[in-house]
Amino acid sequence: MRMYDLIMKKRDGGVLRRDEIEYMVREYTADHISDYQMSAMMMAIYFRGMNAEETSALTLAMAHSGEMMDLSAIDGVKVDKHSTGGVGDKTSIALTPMAAACGVKIAKMSGRGLGHTGGTIDKLESFPGFDTSLTSRRFVRQVNEIGVAIMGQTADIAPADKKLYALRDVTATVDQMSLIASSIMSKKLASGADAIVLDVKTGSGAFMKNEEDAFALAKEMVTLGRMAGRKTVAVISDMDQPLGFAVGNALEVREAIQTLRGKGPADFTALCMTLGAQMLIAGGAASDEREAYAMLRHSVEDGSALKKLAAFVEAQGGDPAAVYDTSLLPAASLVREIASDRAGYVSHIDCQEVGICSLLLGGGRETKESVIDLSVGLVLHKKVGDYVAAGESLATIYANDEEKLRQAAERFLRAYRFAVEPPQRGELIKGILS
Ligand code: URA
């Protein structure tokens, strides 16, 4: 078999056979296929798509490209959660300790930033010393001991996805439904959890810009999970504007901590409750949404969720003091307000542009080798529906470089649209597929 022939077949609209997909994944993982040929294949798939059989074959080949984790040494139902990616999406940082404080066993594998979106692993590294490269043995022990562990993808778990994820990030081939479904589900299947709660984003800051595509992606992933014998639920949620106010790694960690203190943004808190309820039900800790909501609220009110975050940070080598004193998190040297040059009601925010602003500041990767700056980003003061007077601050920008700050601020201003009348606000939760 030759990679050249497979690229040509897909480029011309053909359907790849299971053995062809297995060959491609195996040889790429072993470094026998070059990045440039795989980039061409990703672009061909981007334009030609894959059918359900191809997507399933790619998912299983990537899941089996490394170790399939055995979590049977952990008692009870192990729950994993994954977002398809968004801007300001710090959900896992607040939600996993909340759910763990309610008795759910969280065994989660997370990714780094992708395209204009942030990644949980990068965000967690804002805690000084935090280690995301756990061995399977340490991962299992930690879930048994404190109820929650989050690891990055090691070279052993779905290594094919790890390589492809980094390649897609820098070749503009992220936002393709089958590639997203197989990337996420291969990791979820390899990391061994019994139940998977998916947060499928839709809107200008998501990879799936329209709701129809987001529902189709959700359906595809739920089917892949079910076929592999995992209880799988998908929540389809809004990403037409950033979630909460903070965008940027350490800034988002601060907002997640505020949320665990009961002082988080309304939209972010509501999403944590919706996803958390699904996790509690899937994990057998609550019998229905009403009970789950009450338990999650209680975990914030009695401080047990915040305590769980500190225990989780400490268990992974991070400084738990940063949970109680967020001045210990990375901080930028330049802090400026971005004043609005117009007045009116905010009618639309190009959420992807806001993500790109954070990336331009250094908060995301431009190449596979880029080192990111955890301290930079933006904190929005105005969201859709808010009234803004001319000269009023739309956001605070955090940077370490004057030129990057200037470019990002200019671009940020162009991401906002205004109207004379207040716009209709969209629903945060578009639907739940289970
Ligand atoms: N998250 C992933 O893990 N993979 C994707 O392709 C997109 C979001």
Domain segments of the chain as ranges: 3-49, 78-324, 331-419
234: closest CA among 270, 181, 189, 286? 181
Residue 171's identity, in one-letter code, is: T
CATH entry, 78-324, from 3.40.1030.10, 3.40.50.880, 3.30.750.210, 3.30.450.40:
3.40.1030.10
Active site residues: 82, 161, 168, 183, 187
Give the number of other Cβ atoms within 10 Å of residue 146's Cβ.
17
Strands 393-399 and 377-380: antiparallel
pTM: 0.93
3-49 under CATH 3.30.930.10, yes or no: no
Query: What does the alpha-carbon distance between residue 145 and residue 75 come to, in Å, rounded to a whole number?
Result: 11
Residue with tokens 């479904």: 181
Residues 6+ apart with CB under 8 A from 179: 42, 45, 46, 50, 164, 168, 173
> Which residue's alpha carbon is nearest to atom 1 within ligand 1?
84
Which residue among 42, 112, 114, 202 is best mutated to probe the pocket of ligand 1, counting the most ligand atoms within 8 A of its Cβ? 114
What 3-state class would DSSP assign to 120?
helix
- Which pLDDT value is given to residue 310? 98
> Which residue's alpha carbon is nearest to atom 6 within ligand 1?
180
374: closest CA among 152, 84, 127, 108? 127
Helix (H) or strand (E) holding 337: strand 334-339
316: closest CA among 96, 75, 36, 71? 96
Spell out, as residue ranges, where the chain has pLDDT lower than 70. 368
Counting from 1 in the atom list of ligand 1, the atom nearest the Cα of 85 is: 8
- Which pLDDT value is given to residue 136? 87
- Specify the CATH superfamily of domain 331-419: Pyrimidine nucleoside phosphorylase-like, C-terminal domain (3.90.1170.30)
> Which residue's alpha carbon is nearest to atom 3 within ligand 1?
184
Q: How many whole angstroms from 362 Cα to the centroid of ligand 1? A: 21
Residues 6+ apart with CB under 8 A from 388: 340, 342, 343, 344, 345, 346, 382, 394, 418
Q: How many whole angstroms from 111 Cα to the centroid of ligand 1? A: 8
DSSP codes of every residue in 300-329: HHTSHHHHHHHHHHHHTT--THHHH-GGGS
184 lines ligand 1 (CB under 6 A): yes
Tokens found for residue 70: 């055995």
> Which residue's alpha carbon is nearest to atom 2 within ligand 1?
184
180 lines ligand 1 (CB under 6 A): yes
| Alpha carbon separation from 371 to 112, 122, 153, 158 (Å, rounded) | 12, 10, 17, 23
114 lines ligand 1 (CB under 6 A): yes
